[in-house]
Amino acid sequence: MSLFNRQSVIELLQSPRDELFARADLVRADVMGDAVYLRGIVEFSNICANDCVYCGIRKSNRNPKRYRIDSTEIMDVAHRMQASGQTTIVLQSGEVATPKEDERIATIVRRIKAETSLAVTLSCGNRPRDTYAYWREAGMDRYLLRFETSDPDLFASLHPDCSLEDRLQCLRDLRSVGAQVGSGFMIGVPGETLEILADNILLCRDFDLDMIGIGPFIAHPDTPLAGQLNAYADDPDMYFAAVAALRIVNPDAHIPATTAFDAIWPHAGRDLVLQRGANVFMPNATPGKYRKSYMLYPDKPCVDEEDHLCAGCASARIWSIGRMIGTGPGHSIKHR
């Protein structure tokens, strides 16, 4: 049992960076091994009913061209992922909680499970437990839903449409329907303190998450947070320190090297994260023509690329740092 508390996590975050990064990499190697799992992500719709103040596809932003990829095109991607040896498909979208949308999602999950051997992860926002149970029955293996921040007041100021307690209840519901649960948070949203960052890391441990994705906040120009600086703008190594501390406090969780790191350090950020605690890479698998319309934050990489390229490029990056590609589904290693 881990004995970390807020103070000791803050001490980790403030400890000499070289030692912290080396320790996190050692824990990752020991507990998770050298394999890096690929989880190709298909951003199948940018239509969203919510107005999260940081997000580029919030409903009040008139700029992105709204799209929804149909099931034929999603299946085409799924088959190509399978043919290229990938083992997980992640389907992500804006939040549209209508019965019709819930049903469409269930239908596509059923089809992917029937026609491929891919593990299916959904990431479509808050829903009642019944909907999660329905998707689970359709074949959903995992779900990603970040809690974004552990501070209830900060959460409320960022999310006009939901409370932290609602979000955490979703995570409990997902666990109770038997899904592997992924969550996480943004690093350095304006107003975040080191105490909050430490609590974010501890909340991941409290929920015993199977997967934990964290990435730096990046201000989007078409949102109410336009022009706001990341809370650690003067110490960007804190973004990596957060991942390293996250690994040390959550040794047996899957931790992806998230895309936002590449927005800040093009072609390098995610590689460094893999060497400082992470063991998962999520190549963009969205068909190229939609990518410019799914800009959650500016400078998102790979928007000019075609879908099949990202997994190949990811593999090359993984080999180049002396790691290998994970085979098999890469399920949670936690035993429940």
Sheet holding 280-281, edge to edge: 256-257, 280-281, 35-38, 324-325
> Smaller CB distance to ligand FES: residue 47 or 313?
313
Cβ neighbours around 216 below 10 Å, total: 24
Listed in sequence order, the DSSP H helices in 98-233 are: 99-115, 129-138, 152-158, 164-176, 194-206
What Cα–Cα distance (Å) separates residue 204 from each residue in 18, 85, 86, 194? 24, 31, 27, 16
- Contact of 13 with 241, CB cutoff 8 Å: yes
Q: Which positions from 295 through 324 interact with ligand FES, judged by CB under 6 A?
A: 302, 305, 309-310, 313-314
User: Taking Cα atoms as reference points, which of 327, 314, 275, 316 lies closest to residue 29?
Assistant: 275
If one asks whether residue 146 binds ligand 5AD (CB under 6 A), the answer comes out as: yes
| Residue 148 site contact among ligand 5AD, ligand FES, none (CB < 5 to 8 Å, cut-off depends on kind) | ligand 5AD
CB of 92 to ligand 5AD, least distance (A): 7
If one asks whether residue 196 binds ligand 5AD (CB under 6 A), the answer comes out as: no
What Cα–Cα distance (Å) separates residue 134 from each residue in 49, 97, 109, 319? 21, 13, 11, 39
- Contact of 268 with 314, CB cutoff 8 Å: no
| Residue 310 site contact among ligand FES, ligand 5AD, none (CB < 5 to 8 Å, cut-off depends on kind) | ligand FES
> Smaller CB distance to ligand FES: residue 12 or 38?
38
CB of 316 to ligand FES, least distance (A): 8
| Residue 305 site contact among ligand 5AD, ligand FES, none (CB < 5 to 8 Å, cut-off depends on kind) | ligand FES
Q: Which positions from 250 through 269 interact with ligand 5AD, judged by CB under 6 A?
A: 260
If one asks whether residue 54 binds ligand 5AD (CB under 6 A), the answer comes out as: yes
| Residue 54 site contact among ligand 5AD, ligand FES, none (CB < 5 to 8 Å, cut-off depends on kind) | ligand 5AD
Among 132, 134, 217, 240, indicate the residue that binds ligand 5AD (CB under 6 A): 217
User: Taking Cα atoms as reference points, which of 89, 32, 74 lies closest to residue 311?
Assistant: 89
Q: Which positions from 253 through 292 interact with ligand FES, judged by CB under 6 A?
A: 283-284
Please count the CA atoms within 13 angstroms of the CA of 123 that sit on its side-chain side. Answer: 23
Residue 99: exposure state from Cβ atoms within 10 A (0-12, 13-18, ≥19): exposed
User: Taking Cα atoms as reference points, which of 225, 226, 236 lies closest to residue 263?
Assistant: 236
CB of 281 to ligand FES, least distance (A): 9
Q: Which positions from 213 through 232 interact with ligand FES, judged by CB under 6 A?
A: none
User: Taking Cα atoms as reference points, which of 58, 6, 1 lies closest to residue 201?
Assistant: 6
Can you read off the two tokens belonging to residue 161? 């449409």
Among 197, 296, 314, 318, indicate the residue that binds ligand 5AD (CB under 6 A): 296
Among 40, 94, 182, 215, indicate the residue that binds ligand 5AD (CB under 6 A): 215
Residues that bind ligand 5AD in the complex, under the rule CB under 6 A: 54-55, 146, 148, 186, 215, 217-218, 220, 260, 296-297
Residues that bind ligand FES in the complex, under the rule CB under 6 A: 283-284, 302, 305, 309-310, 313-314
